């Protein structure tokens, strides 16, 4: 019966019409591609384009495609045109010579709309006066060298608490100490640092105060985890708008719930600071305890429209998201690499012992005198960048990249992962070899952990400080051993900042040489 209906003249004619239409469309697209000199592209399917080719992890999928189609190729993801580049010269052409053209972010991304306060947060805001003001706020008022220097005591206090608490937990007996899991400790460290700088509050690792404060901290940590997960989740509606009426996975509802809870949390912080500012008439006291929220509230008083509550909340969210998981992931990757290469760990410890000694803890200011530690961090960022794909850019007008014609409103994917592991750029690219960074100066188009150009990460200075002092202290204060003979699993997991799939575990023991330092730290906490 079904075969009978298929063979009806009307059905046959309709089928021929559909196939002819598809053939004409594909022929027209092929002629357009030849006429406009578009970048090479894999064969695509009607309606969805190349969406069927994208598998997780996305940076590895795009790396595989680049081996076949070259360092520049194009994809059609539903209704969006995408350009993928994976060579330093092409990155320079996109984000230097054509930096203004690619200074925009893709529009109509549901997550950026809901979680990013309707595209007003610095990471998702379109290029223009509002974004330039947020960038100036970040680089001049919130994350300048002077501001970071003024909050140095916060970072050192949190690192002191980390190493002191770890030493107290594992104790001084036993050949290898005790097995520890580091990710939760590093998350607490990063969140405490950022929250103390932003809001003057710490939530984790003891000293949180009342039960309500501890509960608030746990709620905050879970909320940030949820927002990170949602931010890294692909939403089909972003590429196939026809699906917007059907929320198959409940993703949009989850985003709105997370936004409402996050918004209430940040509004509570703002209200608390505004109330404290009214009650505190001691100008000197306010100056010494000035947090980033205080800074933005001061600006709000003179420019209320520019610094509305939503703008402040979007900025607070951006600072927390950019400053927590990124530092945590980098330190965990670096420590895992060192555990798999104990000879490099020994070299790093010898450098710290020679430069710092064992009478005090490593300090942020010591970083420039520890080139091997710098090399370890750069090598960890090369092999396991927290942003394997830079946050997408979008062209605001037609341009030419690599000799190819690029249309207006084309999304740009920069595959840092591929560049960082390109054998034509890096000798023995999969090898963990910190020495490679000791001689040559860093090329910002070959090593891209924080992006490059106008939309590069304004928090790179803070991230480098947190990572260097944390990693340096862990190397200086403890002996580390792998759990068992097998190397640590270095598989990357899903997520916006490419965390380790398996959290790092190791045997940890305080160094006897550092006992006096531990006692001094404990007395000062």
Report the predicted TM-score, pTM, of the whole model to 2 decimal places: 0.90
- Pairwise CA distance, residues 370 & 368, whole Å: 6
DSSP SS3 for 393 = strand
Whether 276 maps to a domain, the answer reads yes
Whether 29 maps to a domain, the answer reads no
Whether 235 maps to a domain, the answer reads yes
State phi, psi for 502 to the nearest 5 degrees.
Answer: -110, 115
Q: How many separate domains does the chain show? A: 1
Cis before residue 116, ω within 30 degrees of 0? no
Specify whether the backbone of 428 is left (phi greater than 0), alpha (psi in -120 to 50) or beta. left
Q: What is the pLDDT of residues 221-234, one digit of tens each?
A: 888 888 888 887 77
**Between 460-477 and 309-323, two packed helices, what is the crossing angle to 10 degrees?**
40
Give the pLDDT of residue 1.
41
Burial class (CB in 10 A: 0-12, 13-18, 19+), 520: middle
- Pairwise CA distance, residues 135 & 149, whole Å: 19
Identify which of 198, 187, 269, 271 has the alpha carbon closest to the alpha carbon of residue 222.
Answer: 187
Give the pLDDT of residue 445.
95
End-to-end CA distance of the chain: 83
Whether 173 maps to a domain, the answer reads yes
Q: Which domain holds residue 460?
A: 129-524
Whether 89 maps to a domain, the answer reads no
Whether 112 maps to a domain, the answer reads no
Q: Where are the alpha helices (DSSP H) in 99-179?
A: 110-115, 129-136, 145-150, 152-170
- CATH of residue 239: 1.10.630.10
Residue 44 has pLDDT above 50, yes or no: yes
Q: What is the pLDDT of residues 272-302, one digit of tens each?
A: 999 998 887 655 444 445 899 999 999 999 9
Any binding-site annotation on 457? yes
DSSP SS3 for 194 = helix
Whether 171 maps to a domain, the answer reads yes
Query: Can you say how many angstroms the Cα of residue 518 is from the centroid of all Cα atoms in its chain?
Result: 32
Whether 70 maps to a domain, the answer reads no
Residue 495 has pLDDT above 80, yes or no: no
Q: What is the pLDDT of residues 417-464, one digit of tens each?
A: 999 999 999 999 999 999 999 987 778 899 999 999 999 999 999 999
Q: What is the pLDDT of residues 371-389, one digit of tens each?
A: 999 999 999 999 999 999 9
């Amino acid at each position: 019966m079904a075969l009978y209906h298929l063979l009806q003249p009307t059905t046959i004619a309709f089928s021929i019409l559909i196939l002819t239409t598809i053939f004409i469309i594909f022929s027209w697209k092929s002629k357009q591609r030849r006429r406009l000199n578009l970048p090479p592209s894999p064969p695509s399917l009607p309606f969805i384009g190349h969406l069927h080719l994208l598998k997780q992890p996305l940076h590895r999928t795009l790396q595989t495609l680049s081996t076949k189609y070259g360092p520049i190729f194009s994809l059609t993801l539903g209704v969006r045109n995408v350009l993928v580049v994976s060579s330093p010269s092409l990155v320079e052409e996109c984000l230097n010579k054509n930096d203004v053209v690619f200074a925009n972010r893709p529009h109509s991304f549901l997550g950026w709309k809901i979680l990013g306060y309707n595209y007003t947060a610095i990471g998702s805001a379109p290029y223009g006066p509002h974004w330039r003001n947020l960038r100036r706020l970040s680089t001049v008022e919130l994350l300048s060298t002077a501001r970071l220097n003024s909050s140095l005591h916060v970072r050192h206090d949190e690192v002191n608490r980390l190493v002191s608490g770890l030493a107290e937990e594992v104790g001084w007996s036993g050949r290898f100490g005790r097995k520890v899991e580091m990710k939760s400790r590093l998350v607490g460290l990063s969140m405490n640092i950022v929250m103390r700088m932003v809001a003057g509050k710490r939530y984790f690792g003891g000293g949180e105060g009342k039960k309500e404060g501890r509960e608030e901290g746990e709620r905050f940590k879970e909320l940030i985890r949820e927002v990170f997960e949602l931010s890294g989740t692909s939403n089909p509606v972003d590429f196939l708008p026809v699906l917007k009426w059907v929320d198959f996975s409940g993703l949009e509802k989850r985003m709105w719930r997370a936004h409402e809870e996050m918004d209430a949390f940040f509004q509570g912080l703002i209200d608390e600071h505004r109330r404290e500012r009214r009650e505190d008439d001691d100008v000197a006291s306010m100056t010494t305890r000035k947090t980033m929220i205080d800074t933005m509230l001061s600006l709000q008083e003179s420019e209320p429209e520019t610094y509305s509550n939503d703008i402040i909340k979007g900025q607070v969210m951006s600072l927390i998201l950019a400053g927590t998981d990124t530092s945590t992931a980098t330190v965990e990757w670096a420590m895992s690499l060192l555990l798999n290469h104990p000879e490099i760990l020994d070299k790093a410890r010898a450098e710290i012992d020679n430069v710092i000694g064992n009478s005090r803890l490593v300090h942020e200011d010591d970083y420039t005198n520890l080139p091997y530690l710098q090399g370890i961090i750069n090598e960890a960022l090369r092999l396991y960048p927290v942003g394997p794909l830079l946050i997408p850019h979008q062209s605001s007008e037609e341009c030419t990249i690599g000799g190819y014609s690029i249309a207006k409103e084309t999304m740009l994917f920069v595959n840092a992962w591929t560049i960082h592991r390109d054998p034509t750029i890096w000798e023995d690219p999969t090898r963990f070899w910190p020495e490679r960074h000791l001689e040559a100066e860093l090329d910002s188009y070959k090593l891209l952990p924080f992006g490059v150009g106008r939309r590069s990460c304004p928090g790179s200075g803070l991230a480098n400080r947190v990572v260097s002092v944390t990693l340096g202290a862990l190397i200086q204060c403890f002996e580390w051993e792998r759990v068992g003979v097998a190397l640590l699993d270095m598989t990357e997991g899903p997520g916006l900042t490419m965390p380790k799939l398996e959290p790092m575990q190791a045997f940890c023991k305080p160094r006897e040489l550092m006992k006096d330092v531990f006692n001094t730290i404990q007395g000062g906490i």
